[in-house]
């Protein structure tokens, strides 16, 4: 894996240079970080930062689709986020439910398929029902797969996969010799999706925070200092440009 690249935020006042369309990463994953710090800087409550973050997500989804990204995975709510104050957790749940309902028609019109990776069984039934309905309504769309990691944790995902495998072994439908990387991948929340080519994290932190631990094995990492509510098309294209100069060898030697 290439050394992670840390860059200052791209200036939206500069001319927007489109990335090479022949080298667009098929799958981009984003850790949307910095909502709370952005709100504090502005003198707003944290909820205002999360609402501004929803607008940044909308911009990024549209820009990703325009750029030719095929899969966009966005880290929306982690299993660790339940530790936040109850008022903030409730606000985040309400925001996600509002966004799913409000954007459903737009997703269908733009050919976007909604997926959610995470433990939906722990969610309030009304929210879970809204998510499942929109996923069903958009299941046949293929212009962009929009995958939200919601109530998601990388370690929890691996534990869940191991439990499923253990059940298969106990039922006699699988033997230990049958377990390989493909079988493990099939038992993950992201089954059917390719591994991310590029991970973007905003907010200045340089860690993956229990996100897609299995899937990020050979993903290129890009860190930006910009807070998520300020992230826009120029910042996305800066990340895509940085990705396009990387040389991905996957443990081999270039040219072989």
CA distance 106 to 120: 23
CA distance 89 to 86: 5
∠ at Cα 208 (206, 210), nearest 5°? 145
pLDDT at 256 (0 to 100): 58
pLDDT at 141 (0 to 100): 95
CA distance 1 to 44: 39
pLDDT at 18 (0 to 100): 80
CA distance 11 to 53: 18
Looking at residue 189, what DSSP letter applies?
Answer: T
Which residue reads 């489109």 in tokens?
18
Set 35, 81, 168, 197: catalytic member? 81
The chain-wide mean pLDDT, for the chain, equals 91
CA distance 60 to 234: 10
Domain boundaries, the chain: 24-153+196-244
Burial of 122 (0-12, 13-18, 19+ CB in 10 A): exposed
Is 151 considered catalytic here?
Answer: no
Low-confidence ranges of the chain (pLDDT < 50): 1-14
Q: Which residues pair with 201 in a beta bridge?
A: 31, 223
Locate the DSSP E strands across the chain. 5-7, 27-31, 71-78, 112-117, 144-152, 198-201, 220-224
Per residue in 66-125, pLDDT tens?
999 999 999 999 999 999 999 999 999 999 999 998 999 999 999 999 999 999 998 999
Q: Are 174 and 215 within 8 A, CB to CB?
A: no
Q: Which residues of 41-77 are buried (b: 16+ CB within 10 A; e: fewer)?
A: eeeeebbbbbbbbbebbeebbbbbbebbbbbbbbbbb
pLDDT at 251 (0 to 100): 67
The fold of 24-153+196-244 is: Undecaprenyl pyrophosphate synthetase (3.40.1180)
Q: Are 217 and 185 within 8 A, CB to CB?
A: no
Set 33, 147, 151, 197: catalytic member? 33
Helix (H, G, I), strand (E, B) or coil at 71: strand
């Amino acid at each position: 894996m290439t050394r992670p690249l840390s860059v200052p935020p791209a200036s939206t006042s500069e001319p927007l240079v489109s990335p090479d369309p022949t080298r667009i990463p098929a799958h981009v994953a984003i850790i949307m970080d910095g909502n709370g710090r952005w709100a504090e800087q502005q003198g707003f409550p944290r909820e205002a930062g999360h609402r501004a973050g929803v607008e940044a997500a909308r911009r990024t989804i549209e820009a990703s689709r325009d750029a030719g990204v095929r899969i966009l995975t966005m880290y929306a709510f982690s299993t660790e986020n339940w530790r936040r104050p109850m008022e903030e957790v409730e606000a985040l749940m309400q925001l996600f439910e509002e966004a799913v309902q409000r954007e459903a028609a737009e997703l269908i019109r733009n050919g976007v398929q909604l997926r959610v990776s995470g433990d939906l069984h722990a969610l309030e039934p009304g929210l879970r029902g809204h998510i499942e309905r929109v996923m069903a309504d958009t299941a046949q769309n293929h212009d962009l797969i929009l995958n939200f990691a919601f109530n998601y944790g990388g370690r929890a995902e691996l534990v869940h996969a191991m439990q499923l495998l253990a059940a298969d072994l106990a039922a006699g439908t699988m033997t230990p010799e049958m377990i390989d990387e493909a079988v493990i991948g099939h038992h993950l929340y992201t089954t059917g999706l390719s591994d991310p080519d590029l991970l973007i994290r905003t907010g200045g932190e340089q860690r993956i925070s229990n996100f897609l631990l299995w899937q990020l094995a050979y993903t290129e990492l890009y860190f930006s200092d910009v807070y998520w509510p300020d992230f826009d098309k120029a910042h996305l294209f800066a990340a895509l440009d940085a990705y396009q100069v990387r040389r991905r060898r996957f443990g081999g030697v270039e040219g072989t």
